[in-house]
Amino acid sequence: MSVIIKFISESLNSFYMIEKLLINNDTINEQAVLFAALADPTRLKLLQILCRQSPPGCRCVINLSELLGITQSAASQHLRVLKSVGLVTSERRGFRIHYSVKPEALKRGQNFISSALETPETGNAECCQEQCPTHKTD
């Protein structure tokens, strides 16, 4: 009976350790989708161009494709990905579609990056001593 209790206790300790180290799965999944959208250099360039508009406004696909030296079709596909994760919005003006950045989505993205890479203020006293046979304590 004590072997079972010890196993349950160790399992709970491992579970609580993981809970402290990770944020919830929904947030991690949202972060992964955002990071995947930003993993392409062309999409990053498009986002930078739209972010650095002065005054804030929007640009059409034709203009964006010319700036980056890519086809209109390629620009549209990249912008579609950025739109699907909520970073940009689009507006049809006549025959052209204009894209602009969504400031609130950029702020959320910045918070995602900060929380994904957050480190504790003080060092974590816990380590893998029990699971790592090569770890030696002095």
Task: Give the domain ranges of the chain.
Answer: 1-39, 40-104
What are the tens digits of pLDDT across the range 83-101? 999 999 999 989 999 999 9
C-alpha span between 24 and 56 (Å, rounded): 35
> Does domain 40-104 match CATH 3.20.20.70?
no
Q: Write down the pTM of the prediction.
A: 0.68
Point out the least confidently predicted range of 16-20, 24-28, 119-123.
16-20
Determine the Cα–Cα distance for residues 57 and 98; give it in Å rounded to an integer: 9
Distance CA 106, CA 129 (A): 40
**Dist. CA 67–CA 3, nearest whole Å:** 67
Confidence of residue 117 (pLDDT cuts 50, 70, 90): confident
Specify the 3-state DSSP secondary structure of 101.
Answer: strand
- The total number of residues shown for the chain amounts to 138
